[in-house]
Structure 1
Amino acid sequence: MMESNHVLDAKGLACPMPIVKTKKTMKDLEPGEVLEIQATDKGSTADLQAWAKSTGHEYLGTETEGDTLRHFLRKAGAIEAEGVVIPEISLDEFKEKVDKNENLTVLDVREIEEYEEGHIEGAIHIPLGEVEQRAGELDKEDVIYVICHSGRRSELAAQTIAKKGFKQLFNVVPGMRDWTGKTI
């Protein structure tokens, strides 16, 4: 069992709230301190791993107790790595492009269960936790529209691939949660 300096209760919260609360709590910790995040959102594991990597914090692991996931993060040194700023496109603007049948590269970074419930036709599915390893499946020359449930995981995914040399990225906000267009 891992030891922590602080505990954050994020049980019952769905994406993006575990990340939002973690980010806020981490600001109050001293470098090197460990935060335990208790969550029930199954997607929180991949989300917190990616967030930790993009901010320079250390993901220490996850323990499971019943339905509760206990994630452990160690705060980075005094200078936190700042993520790359990714431009956003509103869901309405993005939907116009989809409706016009523009040749779009859409990257859906939700978990498989979410993707299978309904996704935009032609979307490339790479869950957030796999984006870094699978970025080579994407073309660096394409304009890529990254989408998730609410816009938080897609921002993390876009930051991850931007660091690999992708230049034309847009985070679709708010994401599939409010999508009214056709899905398959």
Structure 2
Amino acid sequence: MAEKDDSVEIYDLRGLNCPLPVLKTKRKLRAMPPHALLRVETSDPLAAIDIPHFCAENGHTLIAIEALDRGHHFLIRKAG
């Protein structure tokens, strides 16, 4: 059985406003293999609503949300 690769790709979307963080996250995940990990960095306050909703609607696992002074970090595992 192949071992799962748990390396995390970081996607810096700071400085972009709604709806770009979700649209770019969607495009990035589409190009990644199943079960890949993606850490999305945003500064748009609406991403705290949009990214979790996007993950729930598309079957991706939102592993963690980290609120920062100037944004959020989201750790997402792509659906299989």
When normalised by structure 1's length, the TM-score is: 0.38
Q: Which has the larger radius of gyration?
A: 1
User: Gaps (5+ residues) in structure 2?
Assistant: 1-5
Instruction: Give the aligned partner of residue 56 of structure 1.
Output: 59
Give percent identity, aligned residues only.
Answer: 28
Instruction: Indicate yes or no: 2:26 matched with 1:29.
Output: no
C-alpha distance in 2, partners of 1:60/1:41? 19
Q: Secondary structure of the equivalent of 1:70?
A: strand
Contact 1:8 1:37 survives alignment (8 Å): yes
Higher share of residues assigned strand: 2
- 1:15 Cα offset (Å): 0.6
Structure scoring higher RCO (CA < 8 A, sep ≥ 6) equals 2
Q: Name the aligned partner's letter for residue 35 of structure 2.
A: G
Computed over aligned residues only, the root mean square deviation of the Cα atoms, in angstroms, reads: 1.5
1:60 alignment partner, SS class? strand
Structure-1 separation of matches of 2:71 and 2:53: 19
Are positions 1:68 and 2:79 aligned together? no
Please state whether the residue corresponding to 2:54 is helix, strand or coil: helix
Runs of 4+ in 1 over 4 A off after TM superposition: none
State the Cα distance separating 1:4 from its structure 2 match. 5.4
How many corresponding residue pairs?
A: 75
- Residues 3-23 of structure 1 show CA distances to partners (whole Å, capped at 9, x for unaligned) of 852111110111100001101
Amino acid of the residue matched to residue 42 of structure 2? A
Give the equivalent residue in structure 2 for 1:43. 46
In the alignment, the residues of structure 2 paired with residue 47 and residue 15 of structure 1 have an alpha-carbon distance, to the nearest angstrom, of: 8
- The residue matched to 1:23 in structure 2 has which SS? helix
TM-score (norm 2): 0.84
CA offset at residue 28 of structure 1?
1.8
